[in-house]
Copies of this chain bind each other. A is one copy, B any other.
Amino acid sequence: MNVAASHAYGTICALEYRYARLIDDDRLEEWPDLFVERGVYKVVPRENLGREPALPIFFCDSRAMMQDRIRSLREANIYNLHYSRHVVSNIEILSEHDGAFEVAACYTVYQTDLEGQTRLFSVGQYRDVIATGDGDFKFRQKIAVCDTFNIPNLLAIPL
């Protein structure tokens, strides 16, 4: 890894960790800002990956759609019954094309209820494409491929 690659890697990790922290600190309104305007966010069960098309259980293809989603969440007021904790690890740059990075990572999401009981909520892999326009790193695509798919309230907050 040369100095430029190392610099990019550090910035990519920072973006992934910021993504996790904004969600866990309930700053959901800032979550769409981590994507480019026409960014894609999908949740796909791992067993669907081999199928064509790989049916997502959640899908947004613009920042506006993400903002809508967050507004619905706030109105439904379901989202705050748990604390969440997103652990991101094993961050790897798989390829680089035209200033965009294809990135893989593992995620582990925990939920803690109001009695302080923590349970493992979902484990899986992020498959991301990160654009670097003007040195500003943003998600062009984030796919959460979830190993765990029998999730009662999966769609409450982003994975």
**8 A Cβ contacts from A102-157 to B:** 104, 106, 108, 110, 112, 114-120, 122-125, 147-151
Asked if B147 and A17 sit within 8 Å, CB to CB, the answer is no
For chain A, the bracket of interface size reads: 35 or more
Q: How far is the CA of A14 from the CA of B91 in the complex (A)?
A: 8
Asked if B120 and A85 sit within 8 Å, CB to CB, the answer is no
Nearest CB in chain B to that of A45: its residue: B116
Q: How far is the CA of A31 from the CA of B39 in the complex (A)?
A: 34
Asked if A90 and B87 sit within 8 Å, CB to CB, the answer is yes
Chain A window 10-34, contacts with chain B (Cβ cutoff 8 Å), 1 for yes, 0 for no: 1100100110110010000000000
A87 to B: closest C-beta gap in Å: 5
A31 to B: closest C-beta gap in Å: 16
A: residues with CB less than 8 A from B are: 1-3, 5-7, 9-11, 14, 17-18, 20-21, 24, 45-47, 83, 85-92, 104, 106, 108, 110, 112, 114-120, 122-125, 147-151
The 10 closest A-B pairs by CB, nearest first: A116-B149, A112-B147, A1-B10, A118-B148, A116-B150, A17-B90, A110-B123, A17-B92, A118-B123, A83-B147
* Residue contacts A-B, CB under 8 angstroms, 20 given: A1-B11, A2-B7, A3-B3, A5-B10, A24-B125, A83-B147, A85-B123, A85-B147, A86-B90, A87-B89, A87-B108, A88-B89, A89-B89, A110-B147, A112-B123, A112-B148, A116-B149, A116-B150, A116-B151, A118-B147
